[in-house]
Amino acid sequence: MDTGRSVETSAHWGTFLVDVAADGASVAARPHADDPDAAPAIGNAAAAHRHPSRVARPSVRRGWLEDGPGADDRRGDPDEPYVEVDWDTALDLLAAEYRRVRSTYGDAAVFGGSYGWGSAGRLHHAQSQLHRFLNRTGGYTRSVGDYSRGASLVLLPHLLGADGTLALRRRPVSWQHVADHTDLVVTFGGLRRSNTWVVPGGHARHRGSDLARGAAATTHFVALSAQRDDAWDELGAEWIGVMPGTDVTVALALLHVLVTEGLADEEFLATHCVGAEEVAAYVRGESDGVPKTPEWAEAISRAPAAALRDLARRMAAGRTLVNVVYAVQRGEAGEQAVWAALTLAAFLGQVGLPGGGFAHGFGSMGDYGVGLDDGRLPVVDQGRNPVPDLIPCARIVDLLTSPGGELPFDGGVLRLPDVRLVHWAGGNPFHHHQDLRRLRSAFRGVDTLVVDETHWTATARHADVVLPVASSLERDDVAAGAGDTRLRVSRAATAPYGEAREELWILGRLAERLGADHDEGLDARGWLERIYEEWRAAPGSPPAPDFARFWADGGLDLPASPYPPEDAAFAAFRADPVGAPLGTPSGRIELVSSTIGGFGLPDVGRHARWRPPTAWWGATDAATYPLHLLCNQPTHRLHSQHDMGAASASTKVAGREPVRLHPADAAARGIAAGDVVRVRSAQGSLLAGAVLSDALMVGVAQMHTGAWFDPSAPEVADCVHGNVNVLTRDVPTSTLTQATSGAHVLVEVERHDGPVPPVRAFEPPVLVGR
């Protein structure tokens, strides 16, 4: 292309370069020359920049414009037209609706839906901007937790205390610890290279892969997973196949070997833990009559008993790190796997040793284990929310469909408010959430759905008011992620598309109409200088130049975090459990939690247990849907972002999201590689393109999440593009954690021999003038 200039910009998949054509319209994206492991998602940025699915002008769904707010089954209809209006009209309409809802139903009737992945910038962070606006205009019903770690975020504070849980995230065992000290890493779930490309806020350079390669030179890895390639090749990981959802049985079997062969660290259990005797009795079968032997586990998980027995002995013979990836807890009773793995690590007695103990996140995020720094980064003050109402984020459908209902959560009961207005920004629930029939029905029941968006996503296509937002290539910002090496300037490459505006401006003008002050009279440049200078002046910040110098230099190198061995998580607790106790009732690791037991919950007890998921264990659906589908994060995009881009498109088969099948499962169904297939579950159906691989266990299929939802041919399938969330169940992990269980689901796959409808996921809706 005729390059006019190049700019450095940042996204959650890292910092990269954008070449802007001389005419200022088209762009090309390329990795930084010194990024050792650039993310493929960079290749999606160019196509997304001026794609036909961009939202050009404020748009109002015609049914809402003509008939007013209220429940409407036309919401989300592929043929429902939108009326393009000017900014004043859109903001006046929206301000009037905010006033109506707040005055009639109260501030809790507003739900602020933002999952925070919309922008990697420190200023133009959709979640921060929206929550600041809502707090300044009266407050809102909020969500807590996240889809990635929802179950463990509730469970672990009971077992490790709040600070101990934070230590697992902020100061975990590092890759350098593993390289220097660890003999064996045993990971429940894989260590995927693609996940190291992604960090909230992005990283200046990707370091995770290089650090992991270094660890592989000195450390042996064992991956307990249904996919052989769940750990990237360079780790040389030993694979033990485990059926999805059965990780607890494997952990209990390993515990059984430690207990019955005298390999447990009894001294550590006595001085640093609570409940070891009760757990051991359960593992031996004394409390329920079922010894948790490797043979017992093999019958459920299909992991060979001999391999598990040998693995347990190897774990006890050297320095061992037990890792649980985030995906393992995203299933029914998902918190039990995290609890069981922590219990296993405690019985080995190595918690707090350099390179040993327990980790929850290796292979799940690019900043995990690379040397996190505790220093704060520039942030926008969101203010205080005067409304106390909240939900766990995965229970959005329950909130919208059960006003006045009750939801058990973390030992208490939440009362669900009557939400009438939903304002969503920086996220796409059609990627994150499960059972899209339920989600669509819930959205159709609210009075008004407002979405701030760059593109006509499925969420935007269900909205009543769509506000066009400038993309990260169209606005200046400051970028950095946790543990980053550099606080950097992320410069706008081009002017905003159409009439798109920064959310700072949009919400500022909306706040003015509501008698509030969102932007305090500052434009984006003024805010960037303000948050930078506040950060620079804060105690503990590194030496930094003034904003003008920082901006001219393009960034500032941040001090390295060397991760000395004595700074490993739980080192102080290990050295002195009395003088440096955990924040639990006992001050120790609570393998048995009297607090959780005291909640009297029907599905979570005092310690880790095998609780067969009702969705598939012995279920009648198992005969109709005999394949176990794993639904994991994509390799060539972040979530659903820029699915129309070149990198994402390169993974498609017949223009649809691929489904991987074992050759034996494919042959039994007459399916060949490249066939268009129909995947069915009890919740819905989709079309996908078949890929065959013996890296899967027989009976297991796999699809990536994030294909844009396309309901344009319901006579063929609920989604003809391959969005797995039409298949997954919208049920909570448990009454304790209320997190998502969407990581796997029972399905059947069959060759689709009928007409194949076109994919319309990336087409904008019908747009008409007023």
Total residues belonging to the chain = 770
Average pLDDT over residues 435-447: 97
Q: Exposed, middle or buried by CB within 10 Å (0-12, 13-18, 19+), for 757?
A: middle
Known catalytic residue: 117? yes
Position 2 confidence tier, pLDDT thresholds 50, 70, 90 = low
| pLDDT value for 593 | 98
- Which pair of tokens denotes residue 23? 């005419």
Q: From start to end of 67-138, where are the E strands?
A: 82-84, 110-113
| DSSP 8-class letter at 521 | T
Per-residue pLDDT, 205: 86
Whether residue 770 is predicted with pLDDT greater than 80 in this model: the reply is no
What are the sequence ranges of the domains in the chain? 3-49, 59-141+387-472+500-516, 150-367+573-598, 621-751
DSSP 40: G
Inform me whether the pLDDT recorded for 618 exceeds 60: no
Q: Tell me which architecture the domain covering 59-141+387-472+500-516 has in CATH.
A: 3-Layer(aba) Sandwich (3.40)
User: What is the rounded CA–CA span in Å between residue 233 and residue 111?
Assistant: 44
Model confidence at 561, pLDDT cuts 50, 70, 90, reads low
Quick: pLDDT tens for 698-746: 999 999 999 999 999 999 999 999 999 999 999 999 999 999 999 999 9
Distance CA 644, CA 51 (A): 8
Residue 620's pLDDT is: 58
Distance CA 55, CA 468 (A): 5
Q: What six digits make up the tokens of 517?
A: 């002050």
Catalytic residue among 115, 147, 232, 282: 115
Q: What is the pLDDT of residue 232?
A: 86
User: Which CATH number does 621-751 carry?
Assistant: 2.40.40.20
**Average pLDDT score, the chain:** 94
Question: Looking at residue 374, what is its pLDDT?
Answer: 57
pLDDT over 60 at 106, yes or no: yes
CATH superfamily placement of domain 150-367+573-598: Dimethylsulfoxide Reductase, domain 2 (3.40.228.10)
* pTM, 2 dp: 0.96
Q: Which of the 8 DSSP states describes residue 455?
A: B
Would you say residue 62 has pLDDT above 70?
yes
Give 584's pLDDT tier (boundaries 50, 70, 90).
Answer: very high
Cβ proximity of 551 and 526 under 8 Å: no
Question: Hey, is 631 helix, strand or coil?
Answer: strand
**What percent of the chain stands above pLDDT 90?**
83
pLDDT of residue 3: 61
What are the structure tokens assigned to 241, written together?
A: 């196949």
SS3 406: strand
* Cβ atoms of 323 and 344 closer than 8 Å: no
For residues 576 and 581, what is the distance between their CA atoms, to the nearest angstrom? Answer: 8
d(CA 736, CA 486): 39
* Set 13, 98, 117, 368: catalytic member: 117
Q: What is the mean pLDDT of residues 176-184?
A: 94
Least confident of 36-45, 250-259, 640-649, 668-677: 36-45
Least confident of 37-51, 375-389, 604-618, 744-758: 604-618
Which residue did the predictor score with more confidence, 53 or 168?
53
CA–CA separation, 408 and 721 (whole Å): 36
